A and B are shown apart, each in its own frame.
Chain A
Amino acid sequence: MGEEAHTPAPDSDGPDWSRLWQWAYRLLRSKYAYDCRPADWEDMAGDAVLKVIVASAAGKVPSSGFDPWFCGLVHNEAIDHHRRETGRDGRRLNEPLEDAGEDVQLEGDLAQELATIDVQSLLDRTELEPHERLVLDYTYWYDLKSEEIAQILGGTTASTVRTWHRNALRKLREQAREV
């Protein structure tokens, strides 16, 4: 892999977490997330080390083959980061909301359409019911699943939440086409 192995072998002083962090940082910078910013590498490397510590305390770190296991963990961090940034289909833009790009990642063609319009004003113009607006917010901003949203709202089911979601998308789509 071209990277020096830094298995955190326990010794009298315990594992050297800062060395592990440095290794993760180098992996991200040179291999798994080379198109990200240094601040992102730092954040991802930190999260990778925290995950190793939790796994280690739970006895879930493999006793042999630590290096490939750790590389896989760092790689997954990079994949998660990429998905958060660009959506599962990689089509979400990274511009701030006020710059008319992000978020409300709608399905299919609508996502592309929305990339060129002001999402905030679209949301304001569309006559969404309060619960539909909340569902959109919880889904696309807070990254919650329909089951979780149902639990948070209380007195409803995941199926109902998905219906509200579909209705909200339909209304947004219709409004977007009028623009």
Chain B
Amino acid sequence: MGLRDFSKSDAKSDYTAFEAGVRARLFQSQQLTPAERQGVARLGRLVQVLRRKQRWSLETLAAETGLPWLWLALLEQGVLLPEELTPATVEQLGGAFPLEHGGADPTVLFGTLAATLRQLQLPLAPAPASPDSARTAAVGRRLVRWLSPPWHPPFAGEVVTAAGTASQEEIFHLDEGWIRVTCRWWAASPEQPAVLWLAWYADLTLSGDFWVRFTRRNDPSAVLAEKRLGGALSGEVGWPSDELGFDPTNEPWALTFVLAEPTKPPA
């Protein structure tokens, strides 16, 4: 991923850009293992410790290293993603700190910590899983270009009368356009399980893969399901509850619409 999303020339603090950067990474950060999260946080803390010893502000560090302020701010706050810590950037960062009293070399130390992080990211032995769950796991490793705020459709997951099961619609606005999401659900009957139907229509200048993430209504960190919708700007899909992994008529849920980097074609 490198630094392509950062403005290299900008060493000035920009809290709005930082907020956008945090929100874009939050989704993937939540997918990291505790060891990965701890590794990133440790590197961030170390940068902060050394910067303060030099009495450098974050802006000064950006100027000293030639790295963008935003990248450094995300690193110090433990929000940067492991794949954004490339060997080149880590070396650039470590090289900015002087070698103090002939002791440990910051470049070597940063390099070791980043390499440890990368090792954690090596794919584990594949566990038996359905194709769909494999796709679900994949979203956490992608660059999220945009994600919507959580939307809880009225009556979703609640026992309601027939009137309550009408289609629910929400429009998400972003700088590059808008996305309209419509969904509806039906309770289980003797003939079929409960079903959730979702349609989307997007008018966007951004491209990528659409995903939808279902979480518990009152706990956005409790993921019920993640589904890939594909790159089409409009479409519709229905999932029976057994495929979805939860009952959309019994479990109060919310959804987050995600635009992630596109799927690479198989080699």
- With contacts A49-B15, A51-B77, A142-B109 taken as known, whether A120 is within 8 angstroms of B101 at the C-beta atoms is yes
- With contacts A39-B55, A142-B50 taken as known, whether A57 is within 8 angstroms of B23 at the C-beta atoms is yes
Q: Which residues of B contact A59 (CB under 8 A)?
A: 220
Q: Which residue in B45, B46, B57 is a CB contact (below 8 Å) of A46?
A: B57
A54 engages B79 (CB within 8 Å): yes
Q: List the count of A-B residue pairs having beta carbons below 8 Å apart.
A: 77
Q: Which residues of A contact B112 (CB under 8 A)?
A: 152
Residues of B within 8 A of A (CB-CB), count? 32
A46 engages B58 (CB within 8 Å): yes
Answer whether residue B132 sits at the interface, using C-beta atoms and an 8 A cutoff.
no
Provide the bound-state CA to CA distance between A17 and B20, in Å: 13
Provide the bound-state CA to CA distance between A151 and B109, in Å: 11
Q: Which residues of B contact A49 (CB under 8 A)?
A: 15
- With contacts A14-B19, A57-B19 taken as known, whether A141 is within 8 angstroms of B13 at the C-beta atoms is no
Answer whether residue A66 sits at the interface, using C-beta atoms and an 8 A cutoff.
no
Q: Which residue in A17, A123, A137 is a CB contact (below 8 Å) of B15?
A: A17
Provide the bound-state CA to CA distance between A58 and B79, in Å: 11
Mask of A135-177 contacts with B, CB within 8 angstroms, 1/0: 0111001111000100110000000000000000000000000
Answer whether residue B26 sits at the interface, using C-beta atoms and an 8 A cutoff.
yes
Interface of B is mostly: helix
Answer whether residue B100 sits at the interface, using C-beta atoms and an 8 A cutoff.
yes
A152 engages B113 (CB within 8 Å): yes
A18 engages B109 (CB within 8 Å): no
State how many angstroms separate the Cβ of B114 from the closest Cβ of chain A: 11
Answer whether residue A5 sits at the interface, using C-beta atoms and an 8 A cutoff.
no
Mask of B220-257 contacts with A, CB within 8 angstroms, 1/0: 10000000000000000000000000000000000000
B19 engages A53 (CB within 8 Å): yes
Provide the bound-state CA to CA distance between A59 and B22, in Å: 12
Interface of A is mostly: helix
Provide the bound-state CA to CA distance between A138 and B108, in Å: 12
Q: Which residues of A contact B220 (CB under 8 A)?
A: 59
Provide the bound-state CA to CA distance between A148 and B113, in Å: 10
Q: Which of A60-112 contact B (CB under 8 A)?
A: 81, 84, 97
State how many angstroms separate the Cβ of A122 from the closest Cβ of chain B: 11
Q: Which of B182-234 contact A (CB under 8 A)?
A: 220
Provide the bound-state CA to CA distance between A142 and B97, in Å: 12
Q: Which residue in A17, A43, A123, A142 is a CB contact (below 8 Å) of B46?
A: A142
B49 engages A84 (CB within 8 Å): yes
Output the nearest chain A residue to B150 by Cβ-Cβ distance: A59
Residue ranges of A at the interface with B (Cβ–Cβ < 8 Å): 14, 17-18, 21, 39, 42-43, 46-47, 49-51, 53-54, 56-59, 81, 84, 97, 119-120, 123, 133-134, 136-138, 141-144, 148, 151-152
